Each structure stands twice: as C-alpha cells, then as structure tokens.
Amino acid sequence: MFIETNELKGILIYINKQNFMADHDWKRLCELIPCVFIVDTPERKVELKSKVADGTKFILNHSPLFGLPQTIQEAVDLLGIELFELAYITNDMTFLPQLHSEPIGSILLSQGRRLPYHYHGFTPDFILCSLDELIDVITQKYKGYLAEVYLTKDGSYHHGYQGYVFQTSLKDSTLPYSVTICGRYFDPSHYKFNSHQLSHRIKRSKLDGTQNALFSEVLIPVIDSFNADGITRVPPRPSKVSADRLKTLIQENILRSRPTLNDYLDALICTREYREQKQLGSDARFANVKDAFYSSNLVSGKHIILLDDVFTTGATVTECAETLRKAGATKVSILAIASHQFTPKSFVFSRSTLSCPVDRCDGHLRLTLKRNNDFFYGCSNFSKNNCKGGTNYFEGWHSINKQNMIGNYYSDFDDFDDLDF
C-alpha cells in the first residue's frame, strides 16, 4: 500500500547493472505510465533510449545515490505531476534508507520478496518480482502487504486479501529460521503514523483485545501456508504473565479457527525478568534476553510457528527460536504482524497536520479508531469541547498526501545551497 501516493501518475526509475527485466518489458511499462529514467552515463541514456517508448524522459546523474530530493524534484517537473503522484522504482537495495524518508511511493524490484536483515526497517511500499507484478500495482490490482491491505478499512470499503507477505532474516543470518512479515509498523514518532491504520491497530492491541479477530484473519492464511505442527509465541516475562496478549490472540482466535494446530503456548516460557527491550540498542537487546527462556521437549520433532507482533531487532525471537530448537524442534518459522520501520532523522521533512474543518475550531485531525474498528479523522478538540469536526479515512489520507506539494516540501532546500557538507 502506497502511504504517500494515492494516485500514481508517473514513475522515476533507477536500474543498476544487474537489470533482470527484458528490454521489451521496459518499453511496455513506458507505454502504460509516464516514466523518467535516471542514468549515470550519457552512453546509458543512448542505450536505454533505443529500447523505450518515444517521449520517455531521462535525468543524467553521475552518482544516483546522491541528491535524491533534487532528482525527485526534477522528475515531477518533467512529468508535470505532484509528489503524491510519483513512485520511485529501483532494483538497488542500497537506495532504500534514503527513499524511506522521501514523500513519494517506493518500489523495489527484486528476485524474491525478501529483504536482508539490515533493510527490513526501510521496507518500501512494494517488493516486486516481475513486470507483471508492477503492472498489477499500476492498475491497482495488487495493493501491497497483506496486513496493511486487509486492515485498512473505511466503512463498507474493504480491500480483501490482495496483499503479499515478505521475508527477512535474523541478525545472525546463518541461523536456520525463516522470518515472515505481514506489513510495516510506523511508531507514533513517525510522520507516517497518522495515515497508517495497521500501526494504530498494533498500538491499540497493546491496550485491549479489540484487534485480535482482525489480526487472526490476516494471520490464518499465512499460518496455513507453513503447514506446521503447532504454534507458540514470544512468552511474557514472569511479572507480565497476566498480560499475555499473543496467547489470547492464539487461543481465542487462531486455534478456534484451526483446531488441528497444536497449542505449544505452555511449552515455551520466560524464566527470568529482563529489562524492557525498547530501552536498549541492538547488541544490548541480544545480551538482555540471553538464556531467558525455557522450552519443554513437547516440541521435539515438530515444526513450530513462533508468533510475535512487531519485529524490530529480532533479539527476543532469535533467543526463543534457539530455545525451541535446543528442545528438539526440527523447524521454527517466525511470523510477525509487522516490521518496525526506522523514523527518518531528516531535518528537511516534517508534515503539517490537517486542520479541523469546523469554523473557528483550532483543532487538528487525527487518525482515530472507532468502536466498530473502522477509522476516521477526528478533531483533537473532541475531548476538550466535544468538536465533532472530521472526515472519513480515505478523504483525510488523500488530503494529507496533497500537502506534499512540491513547493511546500522543497522550498526548504533553498536555504541549504551554501551549506558545506
């Protein structure tokens, strides 16, 4: 799901030398949607020009990894569109961290739907494996990651199961566990949080069980695809056993739908207190949970699904997976609802909020979860003076994207011209 782009009207493409798409594919793409190619040499431009549709535009940039905002500005000028109508496509993963803080859509072309460990925090809007998949995105047949697509709802409007999951690896990539992820989590400090329903649902799930039925609807098709013997989760610390959210989700939702799946919740336990992971850096997190779990040998010879809500460093799931394997599990498949996305530290881009549409109200609109589990944008003055100003989800999201006008965003750059980097 594009978070920054509601309507795709043009694409900006950088393809490095490991191009695996055929020349006629590029031609087909350029005939479908206006394209701008970034080329690093004049020779490359000549070569590509002979292969793509007439009228396709080019930007020469000797080092495409640098000056991305300026390149984006050039592209929207060339195409005569706005930022919120543009997506960037590349097969070069090293662009993902920069692309992550740009207010445009992002697509990675890849041989498989798999991101290396150090890139899962910069997950693009789409990971695509062929031109046909790219065409499905342009024609809106394919909408993004399973959990984001399925759980982005507005009243009767529902996308259904039109998304994919993706894979990442653990920090120690030699460990034999697959990591499957159903979407992205932007925490409240991330500007994308205010348009991302899945992130709000994950945050809400830490407070109550209202999201469990929806989460299990997303997870069940993925769980079925593993063909595993049973399921468990990252167990809570001893002082938190009464707040075992994932246990409730598994027992009251997942296992009720899939009664033949074995319940290994009690097989894996946490044996000691440890500091909250979120206060710690990556290495400290691994040390913090070392030998903190115990598994009974009930899991011996079994393929176990290990469920977690948000995958960040993977320290806790790594320790749990190792504990299960030492107790004899033959296979552990790690499954997370979402992967935690880095918050851009960019000083360039911060987006203003939507104003309340009610006359003389100084409130702003916030993504708000309703009792029926749908979202709308409600006024921040609701609790103060009961202001009922607001807008439905898709209108609000669209308005937020429309604030990405090129003038608003890039005018800040003028001041940086004489800075020495």
Residues that bind Zn ion (CB under 5 A): 356, 358, 361, 363, 379, 381, 387, 389
Of the pair 197, 391, the CB lying nearest Zn ion is at 391
Of the pair 3, 367, the CB lying nearest Zn ion is at 367
Q: Which residues pair with 233 in a beta bridge?
A: 307
Of the pair 228, 379, the CB lying nearest Zn ion is at 379
Of the pair 129, 358, the CB lying nearest Zn ion is at 358
Residue 70 main-chain phi, psi, to 5 deg = -65, -40
**CB-based contacts of 175, cutoff 8 Å, min separation 6:** 318, 321, 322
Of the pair 179, 387, the CB lying nearest Zn ion is at 387
Of the pair 63, 385, the CB lying nearest Zn ion is at 385
- Our CA angle for 148, 149, 155, nearest 5°, is 105
What is the Cα–Cα distance from 364 to 322, expressed in whole angstroms?
47
CB count, 10 Å around CB of 110?
Answer: 18
Tokens 């739907």 appear where?
Answer: 113
By CB atoms closer than 10 A (0-12, 13-18, 19+), residue 141 is: exposed
Given a contact cutoff of 8 angstroms between Cβ atoms, the answer to whether 143 and 149 are in contact is: yes
Strands 10-14, 126-128: pairing is unpaired
Of the pair 215, 376, the CB lying nearest Zn ion is at 376
By CB atoms closer than 10 A (0-12, 13-18, 19+), residue 106 is: buried
- Our CA angle for 74, 79, 85, nearest 5°, is 95
Two structure tokens written together for 30: 């350029």
Shortest Cβ 385–Zn ion spacing (Å): 8
Given a contact cutoff of 8 angstroms between Cβ atoms, the answer to whether 302 and 329 are in contact is: yes
Q: Which residues pair with 354 in a beta bridge?
A: 365
Two structure tokens written together for 322: 């190792």
Of the pair 359, 418, the CB lying nearest Zn ion is at 359
Q: Which residues pair with 333 in a beta bridge?
A: 178, 305
Of the pair 343, 381, the CB lying nearest Zn ion is at 381
Shortest Cβ 395–Zn ion spacing (Å): 16
Shortest Cβ 374–Zn ion spacing (Å): 20
Q: Which residues pair with 153 in a beta bridge?
A: 158
